[in-house]
Amino acid sequence: MATEFKYPRRVQFADTDLAGIVHFSTMFRYLEEAEHAMWRAAGLTIAERGGDLGWPRLGAALEFRNPLRFEEEFEVWVRIGQLKTRTIEYEFTIVRGQTVVAVGTMTSVCVRKQPNGTMKAIEIPAEVADQLEALF
Residues that bind its own copies (CB under 8 A): 12-14, 16-21, 23-26, 28-29, 32-33, 36, 40, 45-47, 49-50, 54, 56-64, 67, 69-71, 117, 119
Task: Report d(CA 6, CA 117) in Å as an integer.
Answer: 35
Shortest reach from residue 27's CB to its own copies, in Å: 9
Task: Report d(CA 64, CA 102) in Å as an integer.
Answer: 4
Shortest reach from residue 84's CB to its own copies, in Å: 16
Nearer residue to its own copies within complex by CB, 1 or 20: 20
HSE-CB of 97 using CA atoms within 13 angstroms: 5
Shortest reach from residue 99's CB to its own copies, in Å: 13
Catalytic residue (choose from 15, 17, 52, 130) = 17
Cβ contact 58:111 at 8 Å: no
Task: Report d(CA 35, CA 118) in Å as an integer.
Answer: 24
Whether 15 is catalytic is no
Nearer residue to its own copies within complex by CB, 67 or 93: 67
Neighbours of 61 (CB within 10 A): 11
**What positions carry a catalytic annotation?**
17
